[in-house]
Structures are given as structure tokens and as C-alpha cells.
Structure 1
């Protein structure tokens, strides 16, 4: 990983929001507090955890540390039954997170968080098991996405795209086209190529847990992911210019000619590449 400072260029297209999840196998990791400090030191500004794996007191402390570090906090619900999910929604209020991701019982969660500042992004489709798996056809998942996005109090969707067995790129594109609210992609996004597919589908961002913690990205990949640590990065290609803001990702495909630049002053970026 290394930082870069570049001169000025104009850009037009936003990057992806990178949400770093302090999780593995749908559980918050025991060393979440240590992992958090590493993430904050790299400039990550969207950081989340699950509602299982650590006691509520430690999750509160984790949330406080995320906010003290200037980052937005996310709680992703793992529970699938109604009672457990409503308990998780109440925990989100108690912990004080900024965003609540996941869950399948929006009709029960929305009254609980009504009047709070929490932004809510439930799972579309049929979710089963632990780790969670997304089932159903693209048409069924799109119908679910439309129904959820139409609800007041739903700010976006948490799509478990890479936990489905069908055509994942087609699923992501169909859901993103079907709704006007932000779609965040979850699942095993463990290669730069998958990040690029997420961007092409029109998603607003993506979550990474295990893949980042286990250091999978450098292995066998020719594409180069770039994470903006501070400032705004402008990436100029022959056919377009893209703007990547603080806390966002861009993936440079192998062999594609490009030129990075900073919007104003300096930009610090982390390039993830083989050592």
C-alpha cells in the first residue's frame, strides 16, 4: 500500500462508497477494536459491524470509536426471525449507529426507528441461513426491491448479490435500474474485478469484511483497486474522467491507460497491489 499526490484535473463520475465491515462469517470479529484503528489510520470513513459476535457493551464502545474517528457507523442485521430482528433494531437505537443494514422485516423495523436519525437499508429478496444466502429469481428479487424502496423510511437497499446462485452482474444491474434509492452490495466481494462489476451495475457502494481482513485482494489479480484516503482523486481515462471522493474506491482494469490527479491541493490514495 502506498500514497500518491498528483496535480489537478477535472472529473465527472463518482466512485463507490467503501464500507469496511469488522466481520467474518457474519459475526463481528473479536479484535474489532484493533482492526478499527487500522482502518481509521488508512482513512476509511464508512465502518460497520454485525449485531452478533460481541456483547452490546463492546458494540457501543466500537460505535463510539468509529464516530470519534470521524467515520459513519453501520450495523448490519444478521437475524432472520421477526423477534430477533426487532431486538436488533432496538439495539441499533441503543448503540447509536448512523445506518442500519439488512434484515427482512421492514414492516416491523420501521416503527421502531421512526423519528431517529438512523438510515435504513433492508435486504431485498428471500434470505436464508447463516452465513446468509439470497434465494429467488432476478424477477422476484427485483419485485421485492421495488416494494421495499417504495416505503417511507427506507433509505436504500442492502443487496446480498454475491450470496446468490444466479447471474450476479445481471441481478445487480436489474435491481439498481429498478429503484431510485442507493443500492449497497454485500457478499464475497474479494477481487478488484468484482468491485469493477459492482460499479458498472450502478451500485452506490459495497461492503467488505472477510476479504479485506484476510488480505485476499492482491492474490492473482491484475486489476488495481485504489482507495482514496484523503481529498478527491480525479482519474482520467481516454474516454472519460471519474471523480473518486474520500472514502471511495475505483478499480483500474489491467492494461487500461489512465492518469490520476487531485481535485485541489493534494490527494492521498491507497493502491492495493502485490508486495
Structure 2
């Protein structure tokens, strides 16, 4: 989300949710901003299975852009409405702990460098901020069990944190309308599907949607009541979904709730 108007609308939505009695937690990415900075520095941008290949040099840029720019912009936009937001990273208070992961491409593991999988979440600092009436804004950088710092996909970090906090919902904003039923042959969006249906679809998904839907799958499978994938290009999509009852996009539900069948094998 790099458009300033959309950022402002998102910040307004988050504050409105807070005023409505919800306790939002924001986990942000920063892919376009990271890629732009890497390009300026003459460093390669490459993805495997939807995950950024992260060399030690790239990791320095990731950390700088996420915590020094994107997080500060989001905190500033939210705090334009009042003293709500506080920024932190997954490194802080050992909130997120990760191990190095590989990407799977055509059935084989591919080394993608300093990219981590979350293996432990310590939500105490986040809970403290929520109890104090704040809105945590979290950069998805995690410490490793080996002492290394890892780049973690924001959608997967949000999923792990949602489970640890016992969140009712996980909302993922993206730059498409939702999960397409037969991309690239059709732009029909799957409106609802269950964990079992998504599990069957996951190996066939386009790489860009893979981490998002993997995050939704893990969250709902672990107790989050619903996960929503919304088009972040639509102003106030977040507010309309959670408070307006209008949730275009794709919703992932537990297996004991009927999906729409289009995700079935």
C-alpha cells in the first residue's frame, strides 16, 4: 500500500475500529518500498514462491525500510487522529522468534537466504500495549533461535500473531480482488471456502497469493474464527468488512462452516 490516499483511509479505518471497541493490531509489509530501495542501491530483487530472497545485504535494507520508514509512516498516519499507535518489531521483547526456511519450487527446496518461519510468539508486549489502549504497529522482522535476524513474510507473521493473541479475525489486504477460482483463465473470486478446501488448493496457487493464503489457512486451522483477504486498493475496505458487514474478497472459514464449494477438488 504505497498510495497516500489509501494509507490515510486505512489509518482512519483502524482508528474507527478502535473507537468501536475492537482492539486492532497492525502487521505491515513494505515490499514495493524495499524493492525501490534495493534498486536505488543496485542490489538484486528476486522472489521464490512469493518470498523475497534475502541476502545479508538485502536484510539490512529490509530492516531499515520496514522499521525506519514504513512503520513510521503508518504510526504517523494513525496518530494524526490521536495518540493511539506505537511501533515495534518482532525483535522487540522476543515477540517473534523464527528459524530459517526454504521455498519450495516444483517440489524441491530452494535457499532464499535470511527468510524465517515463525516458531514462537511471545505476545506479552503486544498485550500490554492493547491493555493500555494503544494500537500496536508491528514490523515483521524476527530474531532467530541462532541469534540471526530474519525477514518474515508479513502475512505469515500476522497469522502467527493472530493465533497467539486469540484474535477473532485475521484480515489480509492485497492488490487483487481476492483469491481467483481459476487464475489466469478467470477473474471469478472465490467468496468463501473452508480450511479443507483451501488446503487442497494451496499447492496450485500463484506464488504471489501463496503466503497470504498459507497465513489464512494456518490462522483458521489454529482457532481464528475467520480470515479475510480484501482488496486494499478499495478505500475503507477494512472498515466496510469488519463493521459494515460488506466483505467482498475471500473469506476462509473453519471446516464446520460451509464454504461455497468452488474451492473443492
Of Structure 1 and Structure 2, the greater helix share is in 2
TM-score, normalization: structure 1?
Answer: 0.30
Of Structure 1 and Structure 2, the greater strand share is in 1
TM-score, normalization: structure 2?
Answer: 0.31
**Higher RCO (CA-CA < 8 Å; seq separation 6+):** 1
